[in-house]
Structure 1
Amino acid sequence: MTDTTHDEPHGDALGTRLNWLRAAVLGANDGIVSTAGIVVGVAGATDSRATLITAGLAGLLAGSMSMAAGEYVSVSTQRDSEKAALAVERRELREQPQAELDELTGMLAERGLSQDVAREAAEQLTRRDALRAHASVELGIDPDSLTNPWHAAGASFLAFTVGALLPLLAIVLPPVSLRLLITVLSVLAALALTGWWSARLGSAPVGRAILRNMGGGALAMGVTYAAGTLLGAAGV
């Protein structure tokens, strides 16, 4: 029993860290692709560095705020659901403790313990902290580590901003004759890296993830550049 209690928080903590890391990679990836699409599209219409900076910064701020707000709402909803589930469990433990003990015994038995061992484990866990035992085994929740919407929003904002800065700097710093080439190559290299990283985190085929990521980014830049060129030629 001791080994199981020590291992479980370890697994939960590792899973949480991986989820945060995966979200950071995806947020950075979104920042790279969306901002690259904006600045490359504008570059197709004009050579003005001021216009490129304005468009890139607008896209960076709008995207990062949108990501942060969306993540805040999503994680707040998840946190509210976790709190509601814990409140229900707390009430059930207060009103029908024996039924809850039987339920915990059954869930532990379903995990491979014999009925006698499951009963003894359930009684020990209940005496130690009944709510924590039911939250962990039944709901998969740690009452002391509920998801934090502010952390999620801040991480999304930061990840998107870091990703968006790459195409923005790549388009405004080089000379006019090289800015498009440098931006495209920089973006594709960054997308190869985030594709590799996301594949490793998800234990997926690396080559396919990299090609998919780079292909999506190349398509986005190609479409927006074509649109910007047409609009620029039309004098819009």
Structure 2
Amino acid sequence: MIVLRWVLSLIFIIQMYLAMAVIAVLFAPWALFSRRGALAACKTYCRWVIFTLRWLCGTRCEVRGTPPTGEVLVAAKHQSFLDIIMIFNAVPSGKFIMKRELMYAPFLGQYAMRLGCVPVDRGKRGNAVTKMKADVAKGAAHPGQLIIYPQGTRVAPGVEMPYKVGTGLLYTQLEQPCVPVATNVGLFWPRRGILRKPGLAVVEFLPEIPPGLPVKEFMRQLESVVETHSDKLQAEAGFHG
């Protein structure tokens, strides 16, 4: 059984990247002239991944809570590529704070720029935060939900990693509500490796944190609510790390 799951997982991964190329090319004429075209292409791809993940690997995807529709900062737990897919598919006009090197990835980078995603450099924390804030301000012409991962990278279930203050600085600058998001997707789609496991992968949109809090208080609330609810989702799936 484990061999069959591994083979099906490999098939899923191969077709997932092939589908990315096919959808990107098919939607290119529309996406080239319209951000709506880029959004439509990315939504189509997300739905295809969610469908084939269930069909090939037995991984069901569920969104809980109320996805935001207005101008908000979305601060999410990040465990694998699956939470990116699910969160983006759930909100009407998402754009990401993302690693600059992803801008050069075939198809992904070009579509990310059309969506208004904000690339940042890793390693130079102070410069990265300053640049990120400037880029976000420039991107204000593209209304939507700005999605950021406060821990800065994928974090496996059960692993502790601090939350970075850049999220708090953006929250202060934007003067918008922040919607925290918890998840357990790393139990089924790991940050590394091929095997995709059957089960119920969940992203949960939590009650928004209103604007105007001091950065330290905002960061405390954000980390507490995201980690607490992520732990509950993981426990619900049988993980006790």
Normalised by the length of structure 1, the TM-score is 0.29
Task: Name whichever structure is richer in helix by fraction.
Answer: 1
Normalised by the length of structure 2, the TM-score is 0.28
Task: Name whichever structure is richer in strand by fraction.
Answer: 2
